């Protein structure tokens, strides 16, 4: 199974200025291609990564903020072969499916009509996509229904924090995962409400020990210090930690390999 980072940017400034790409990431396994959080430019990022959008089986959107959902309807059009076939799964937070607290649903009824499946997940809900088990994890974010995710592939478990601030006990969600993907919008201890900073990741990794921690979803203050922030986390925790790069690939087999795209 492999994880491909199409866009590692996050937050308003990096998204609006496209300082990093914002197309989300994909997990591609045997017989399953999942696109997670297709933000602005996801289709362009797929093209530039050489990935055929029609190969997508499921689109998962963690919450109703535009840097995570803008291209969700295009992903539905890709999954349904340009709306000509009845296929594809959309899975998302309650806000993305039903709308919550002023956050509107991210798909039109027209797009929903062509999907095989649309499902809203609340925290701790479990589902399965083409044989891969998925559990929704708790967050503390300004979209109160935002969900993290834990996937159980045959090669092992992968977890994604989603946008969240640190809260006591959140580490227990990530027990036993091989790869933890964490949205670290700020460096150092420069915490902002609703988000994780580097020191929060250190706190998390001291209580749970994935084989690899991957930081992504970077805001402006992270841009010039991605690798040094990753090294600081690794030094403080002993957990191998990297800062994701656009188009970076993580190949998870018996061992875990990281592949960067040459420019
Ligand atoms: Zn958000």
- The mean pLDDT of the chain is 96
User: What spacing in Å lies between the alpha carbon of 63 and ligand 1's midpoint?
Assistant: 7
Please compute the mean of the pLDDT values over residues 80-104 and round it to a whole number. 95
Instruction: Quote the CATH superfamily of domain 2-259.
Output: Ribonuclease Z/Hydroxyacylglutathione hydrolase-like (3.60.15.10)
- Cα 253 to middle of ligand 1, angstroms: 31
Q: Is the pLDDT of residue 261 over 90?
A: no
What is the Cα–Cα distance from 45 to 189, expressed in whole angstroms? 31
Q: How far is the CA of 204 from the centre of ligand 1 (A)?
A: 19
Q: Give me ligand 1 centre to Cα 6, in Å.
A: 18
Evaluate if residue 140 carries a pLDDT over 70. yes
Q: Tens digit of pLDDT for each residue in 210-258?
A: 999 999 999 999 999 999 999 999 999 999 999 999 999 999 999 999 9
Length of the chain: 263
- pLDDT band for position 263 (50/70/90)? low
pTM above 0.85, yes or no: yes
Residues 6+ apart with CB under 8 A from 145: 63, 93, 94, 95, 100, 103, 122
20: which 2 tokens?
Answer: 């990093």
Angle, vertex CA 152, rays to CA 92 and CA 66, nearest 5? 25
Across the beta sheet with 32-36, what order do the strands follow? 117-121, 89-93, 58-61, 32-36, 25-29, 2-5, 249-252, 256-259
Q: At residue 262, does pLDDT exceed 90? A: no
Residue 163 CA, ligand 1 centroid: distance in Å:
5
For residue 101, the model assigns a pLDDT of 85
pLDDT, one tens digit per residue, over 194-213 is 999 999 999 999 999 999 99
Tell me the CA–centroid distance for residue 142 and ligand 1, in Å.
Answer: 7
Residue located via tokens 């933000």: 39
Q: What is the whole-number distance in angstroms between the Cα of residue 255 and the centre of ligand 1?
A: 32
CA of 146 to the centre of ligand 1 (A): 8
Q: What is the CA(141)–ligand 1 centre distance, in A?
A: 7
What's the 64 CA to ligand 1 centre distance in angstroms?
7
The residues whose Cβ lies within 5 A of ligand 1, an ion, are: 65, 163
What is the band of 104 on the pLDDT scale with cuts at 50, 70, 90? confident
> Has residue 165 got a pLDDT over 90?
yes
- 32-36 and 196-197 strand pairing: unpaired
């Amino acid at each position: 199974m492999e994880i491909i980072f199409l866009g590692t940017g996050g937050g308003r400034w990096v998204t609006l200025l496209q300082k990093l790409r914002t197309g989300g990431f994909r997990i591609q396994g045997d017989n399953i291609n999942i696109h997670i959080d297709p933000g602005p430019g996801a289709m362009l990022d797929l093209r530039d990564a050489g990935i055929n959008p029609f190969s997508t089986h499921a689109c998962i959107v963690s919450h109703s903020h535009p840097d995570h959902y803008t291209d969700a309807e295009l992903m539905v059009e890709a999954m349904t072969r340009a709306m000509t076939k009845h296929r594809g799964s959309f899975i998302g937070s309650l806000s993305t499916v039903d709308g919550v607290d002023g956050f509107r649903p991210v798909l039109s009824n027209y797009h929903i009509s062509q999907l095989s499946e649309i499902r809203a997940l609340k925290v701790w809900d479990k589902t399965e996509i083409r044989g891969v088990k998925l559990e929704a994890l708790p967050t503390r974010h300004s979209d109160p229904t935002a969900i993290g995710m834990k996937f159980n592939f045959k090669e092992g478990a992968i977890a994604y924090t989603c946008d969240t601030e640190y809260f006591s006990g959140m580490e227990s969600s990530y027990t036993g995962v091989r790869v933890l993907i964490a949205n670290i919008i700020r460096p150092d201890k420069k915490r902002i409400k609703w988000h994780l900073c580097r020191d929060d990741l250190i706190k998390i990794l001291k209580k749970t020990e994935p084989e690899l921690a991957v930081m992504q979803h970077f805001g402006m203050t992270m841009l010039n210090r991605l690798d040094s922030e990753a090294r600081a986390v690794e030094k403080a925790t002993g957990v191998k930690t990297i800062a994701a790069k656009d188009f970076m690939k993580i190949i998870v087999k018996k061992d875990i390999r990281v592949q960067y795209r040459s420019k």
